[in-house]
Structure 1
Amino acid sequence: MFQGLAHLQTLQLRNNNISVIQPLTFHSLSSLQYLHLDHNSLTAVAVAEFCCSMSQLQELHLEYNNISSVASGTFGRLSQLQYLHLDHNSLAAVTDFRSLTQLLELHLNHNSISTVRPGAFQGLPQLQNLHLDHNSLTSITADFSGFPQLQELHLDHNSISTLLPAALQALPQLLILHLDHNSLTAVTASDFSGLTLLQELYLDYNNITTIQPGAFVNMSSLSILCLEFNALTALPAETHGELVPIANVYLHDNPWRCDCRLAAFRGAFTGRYMFEEQITCVSPGVFAGQRLKDLTPQQIWFNGGCTAAAIDTFQAGNSTVQLGDTIYLHCQCGAGRGGRGQSDCGERRDRSCP
C-alpha cells in the first residue's frame, strides 16, 4: 500500500474507521518516525503489524480505539520509540513493554486496567512519564518501582485502597505523584519515605482518616500537598512541623472534629501558615462552623467533649521493685467520669492504632 515512500517520516491515518491492520502494512516505511492511528476502530494489535522496517519510529498513537488486547512483543522491534499512546481504549491488563529501552512517555490512561502483570514495566530505563489514571487498579505493588528516570506518575481516578510496603520507594527521580480520586484510608510513615525529590503530591478525594507521624519527613523538595476532600477528623501534633516547610498545603473540606485529638495540633499553631486557616470544625456541635485557629487548646479540651484521664482504681501486689526495673500498667479506657464525654486515654488509644 505504501510502496515508494521509503523517505516518509510522518503518516496520519487518524479519524477513520480502520478496524484491521494487515501484516507488513508498514513494511516499506523504513524512515517513518511518527505514526498516527488514533480515533479508529482497532480492537487488537499484534506483532506482525509493527514488526519490520520501523526501527526509526519515535511516536506511535493508538489512542481512542477499541483495543482490548496487545500481543506480547508487539512493540519489541520499535527500538527508537519514545512516545506510546494507548489511552482511551479497552485494555484490562498491562502486559509487556520490556523492550522499549528509549521510551520516555507511556499513556495507558482511560482504559479498564485492573492488573499489572509481573515484569510488565521492567527494562524501561528512560521512562519519564507514566499515565495509568482513570483505570480500575485497586493496589500499588512493586511493579511500579524500578524506573530510575521516572518524573511523573499518574495513578489518579482508580480504586486504589492499598499501597504495599516499598512500592514507590525505588523512584529516585519522581517529581509529581497523582494518587487523588482513589480509596486510600491512611498515609503511613513509609509510603513516601524514598521520594526525596518529590515536588507535588496529590492525595485529595480519597477516604483518608489517618496520617501517621513521619508521613512527610525527609521530603524537603515538596511544594504542593493536597489532602482536601478526605475523611480526616484529626492530625497528630508532629504533623504540624512536617507541613511547615511545604509552600502549598490544602486541608479544607474534611470533617474535622475539634476535640482533644486536635488540641495538641492546635497548640503548635503560630499564625504564620496558610494551612492553619483551612481547618473548619464540623463537630462537636458547640464548635461547628468555627475555624480551629480561632479556638484555644483550653477551649477545645474543656468544651470539646473530652475529659482528662484519671485513675479510678489501682491494685498493687506484694512485689518489690527496684530502681531501674520495668513495670507494666494495664489501662482500661472508659467514657470518663460520670459516663460523659471522651477520656484522654481513649484519645491515646486512637492515636496508637494507625
Structure 2
Amino acid sequence: MLRVSMVLLLRQLILCVWVCVSSALVVHSLPWSVYCPAGCVCQIKPWFSPQSLSCEVPTVDCNNLFLTQLPSPLPLNTHTLCLQSNLLSALETPLLHTLPNLTELDLSQNRFSSVMTLTLTEPQIPSLRSLLSLHMEENQLRSLPPASFSSLPALQELFLSHNQLASLAPGAFSGLGSLLLEVLPERGFQALGSLRSLVLGGMGLKGLPERALEGLDSLESLSFYDNLLTTVPTQALRRLPGLKFLDLNKNRLKLGLNNMEELVAIERAAMENLPELTKLEITNNPRLSYIHPQAFFRLGRLESLMLNSNALTALHQHTVLSLPSLREVSLHSNPLRCDCLFRWYIVSKDNVTSRDDL
C-alpha cells in the first residue's frame, strides 16, 4: 500500500508540474464585454504590429463558420477581425466603414476572385483608413488591376500567397506608400510560368534574392520603377531567359560594366533610361577605346564615374561637363594621350581627379 501511495503521489506531483508549466506557456485572453455576433468569439487578445510591437487589442474571431457574408453587428471598437476559412466572395464595405479602429483583417482561405469586391468604395472615401495588415492568402485571385489597394492608404502588410494570379497590371500596388516590403521572397512567382509582364513599382524594394524571379520563364517585360535599389539585381535577372525590357528608373543605382572583353564603345545616351544612377563603374575592359561625348546624357545624379583599366586614349570634355553632380572620376591605367584634345583635363582647376591618376 505504501508503494502504491508513493506512486500515486509522484503522479500527482508530475501532473501538478505539467499543469503549472503549461499554464506559463499559454497566452491568456481576456473577456470583452460586448454583443458578439453569433458563432464568433470576442476577446481582448495579444497582437503584434508589423514592427513586432505587442499590445492587447479587441479581437473578433469568426474563423471556420462557413460564412457567406459578414457577421453583424460587429463591435464598434474591433481592432482585429478574423474571418479565415469561410465561404466569403465579397464584403459589404459600408459595414466595415463602421469600424474606425480596424487594424488587421484576415480573409485567408475564402473564395475571393477579385480584390475589387473588397476594396470598392465611394470615391475619395478610403474604406479602411486604419488597416495595417490584410491577409488574402489561399483565395482565388486571378489578377490585380491598377490601384488594386489604393483605398487602403495605411496598409503596411499585404499577404497574397497561394492564389491563382496570372497578371499584375501596371500600378497594381500604387497608393501603398506605407507598405513595409523591402525585399521579395525567394520563388514567390514560381507559379506564374505564363506571365509576360510584371510591374513592381513604388514598393520600397531594397534588394532581390537570387531566386526571387525563379519560374518566370515567359517574362518579357519587368519594371522596378521608383524603388530603393542601389545595384542592378543581376543574379536574379539571370533567371529570366526571355526578358526583353527592363525598367530601373527612379532607383539610386550603382551600375558595373566590368571585365567585358567584347565591349569596344559606349554610344550616345547609352544610359538615358537610368536617370537615378549615382555610381557607374566601367573598368577592366581591354578593348573599350571610345566613349561618345554624350554617352552619359541625362545622368544628372551621377556622383562617381570609374573608367580605369580600359583602352581609352582620350575623354571628351563634354562627357564630364554633362554630369552636374559628379564628384569623383577615375581614369588611371588607360593609354591616355596628353595632347591638345585632352589638355582640358590636365589644367582644369575644378577637376576632382589629380594628375597622379593619369
What TM-score bracket applies, with the shorter chain setting the length? 0.3 to 0.5
The structure with the larger Rg is: 2
Instruction: Give the TM-score, by structure 2 length.
Output: 0.46
Please, what TM-score do these two structures have when normalized by structure 1? 0.47
